[in-house]
Amino acid sequence: MANVAKEAHDVKAKAQETAHEAKDVVTAGVEKAKELASAGVDKAKELGRAALDRADDAVTSVGSGVRTVGDTIEQGGRYLEERDLGGMASDFGSLIRRNPVPAVLVGICVGFLLARAFRS
């Protein structure tokens, strides 16, 4: 009987030891999960900040582009108000004289497009 009591005691001690080891493993797993979750939250915050910075840059770029287009349209409007038809023709002629090759290429392209449009 003493032998059975000793074995029972050994089994009980082994069970307690295994329970402590299991508790340690679970505790370590929970701590690791907390660390990973914290790292995931930090990464999400970092990505969110980066996206916000990019969005701010995009808004700034778009605003700058819109401003540039607005300025160009305004300059074009002023040009049309200040020049009469003869002045615009003179400016167009001087543009062609300064850039003859691009002017010829543009003329060929316009002629081709007009021919295709009237053929249909």
pLDDT at res. 2: 59
pLDDT at res. 112: 94
Prediction pTM value: 0.38
pLDDT at res. 4: 58
Query: What are the average pLDDT values for consecutive 10-residue runs of the chain, which has 120 residues?
Result: 63 71 70 70 74 75 78 80 80 90 92 88
Q: Nearest Cα to 88, choosing from 99, 96, 79, 78?
A: 79
Domain boundaries, the chain: 1-82, 84-120
| Rounded Cα distance, 119 and 113, in Å | 10
Given a contact cutoff of 8 angstroms between Cβ atoms, the answer to whether 110 and 102 are in contact is: no
